[in-house]
Amino acid sequence: MRFDRRSFLRAIGAGTVATVAPTAFGGAATAATVITIRGGGADIWNTEDAFHFYYETVEGDFDVRVHNTALENTDPNAKTGIMIRESLDPGAKNVMLRRTPNGAVSLQWRPESGGETVSTTSGGEDESEVDGGSIDAEWLRLSRRGGAFEAYGSDDGTDWTQIARLDAVELSDAAAVGLPITSHNVGVRCTAQLRDLSGIDPDANRDVGDVSVAGSVGVEEGVPFVTTGGASDVTATEATLRGRLTDLGGADSAECSVEYRQVPTEAWTATPARTLTEPEAFDVRLKDLTSRRYYEYRAVVETSDGNRAVGSSETVGTPSRSNGTPPANGPESASRVDLADGFADPAPWLDDDTPVIPVTEPTRRQLTAAIGVDGPRLVVFETSGTVDLEQQRLTIVNDELYLAGQTAPSPGITLVRGDLWIGADDCVVQHLRVRPGDAGLTEESDWEPDGIRTGDGTENNVVDHCTSTWAVDENLSVGYDTHNTTVSNCLVAEPLQDATHHKGDHGYGSLIGNGAENVTLAGNVWAHNYDRNPRLKEGTRTVVANNVIYHYNDGIWMDPDTAASIESNVFRRPVSNQPNVFGDGAAVLADNALENAANPMVGDGITRLDARPLWPPDLEAIGSDTVVEHDLANAGARPADRTAHDERVLQQLRTGEGSYIDGQVEVGGYPDLDVVTHGLSVPQSGTRAWLRAKARTVE
Amino acid 548: pLDDT: 98
Residue-wise pLDDT tens digits, 130-156:
998 999 999 999 999 998 999 999 999
The C-alpha atoms of residue 460 and residue 462 are separated, in whole angstroms, by 7
Name residue 270's amino acid.
A
Amino acid 20: pLDDT: 29
Q: What is the CA radius of gyration of the chain?
A: 26
Collapsing DSSP to helix, strand or coil, 97 comes out as strand
Amino acid 660: pLDDT: 97
The CA dihedral of 504, 509, 514, 517, to the nearest 10 degrees, is 170
Amino acid 650: pLDDT: 98
Amino acid 444: pLDDT: 81
The C-alpha atoms of residue 8 and residue 277 are separated, in whole angstroms, by 24
Provide, for the chain, the percentages of residues in helix, strand and coil under a 3-state DSSP scheme, each rounded to the nearest 5: 10, 40, 50
Amino acid 223: pLDDT: 82
Total Cβ atoms within 10 A of residue 332: 12
Pick the closest to residue 217 from 244, 181, 246 (CA basis): 181
Residue-wise pLDDT tens digits, 673-696:
999 999 999 999 999 999 999 999
Q: How far apart are the first and last CA of the chain?
A: 36
Task: Chunk the chain into consecutive blocks of 10 residues (it has 699) and report each block's average pLDDT, rounded to whole numbers.
Answer: 26 27 34 86 94 97 95 90 97 97 94 95 92 95 95 96 94 96 91 94 95 93 89 97 93 96 96 96 96 96 92 93 74 96 98 97 95 96 97 92 98 97 97 97 88 96 98 96 98 96 89 98 98 98 98 98 98 97 98 95 97 98 98 98 98 97 97 97 93 97
Give Cα 79 to chain centroid, integer Å: 13
HSE, side-chain direction, 13 A CA sphere, residue 385: 18
Amino acid 158: pLDDT: 94
Give Cα 311 to chain centroid, integer Å: 25
DSSP class of residue 311 equals P
Amino acid 75: pLDDT: 85
CB contact at 8 A, 583 and 566: no
Instruction: Give 365-412 as a DSSP string.
Output: HHHHHHHT-SS-EEEEESB-EEEE-TT--EEE-SS-EEEEGGGSPTT-
Name residue 405's amino acid.
G
Amino acid 8: pLDDT: 25
Q: Report residue 570: phi and psi, to 5°.
A: -120, 130
Amino acid 1: pLDDT: 27
Name residue 10's amino acid.
R
Total Cβ atoms within 10 A of residue 196: 22
Cα 640-434-542 angle, rounded to 5 deg = 90
Amino acid 326: pLDDT: 63
Residue-wise pLDDT tens digits, 626-667:
999 999 999 999 999 999 999 999 999 999 999 999 999 999
Please report how the helices 624-634 and 644-655 are oriented relative to each other, as an axis angle in degrees rounded to 10: 160
The C-alpha atoms of residue 240 and residue 283 are separated, in whole angstroms, by 7
Burial class of residue 377 (count of CB atoms within 10 Å of its CB; 0-12, 13-18, 19+) = buried
Of the chain, the percentage scoring pLDDT greater than 90 comes to 86
**Peptide bond before residue 355 is cis, with ω within 30 degrees of 0:** no
HSE, side-chain direction, 13 A CA sphere, residue 305: 10
Give Cα 671 to chain centroid, integer Å: 23
**Domains of the chain (ranges, CATH numbers):** 10-222 (2.60.120.200), 225-317 (2.60.40.10), 356-667 (2.160.20.10)
Collapsing DSSP to helix, strand or coil, 408 comes out as coil
The C-alpha atoms of residue 6 and residue 213 are separated, in whole angstroms, by 20
Amino acid 445: pLDDT: 83
Ramachandran area for residue 517 (φ above 0: left; ψ -120 to 50: alpha; else beta): beta
Sheet holding 225-232, edge to edge: 225-232, 239-247, 280-286
CB burial of 416-452 (b: ≥16 within 10 Å; e: otherwise) equals: bbbbbbbbbbbbbbbbbbbbbbbbeeeeeeebbbbbb
> Residue 38 belongs to what H/E stretch?
strand 32-39
Name residue 523's amino acid.
G
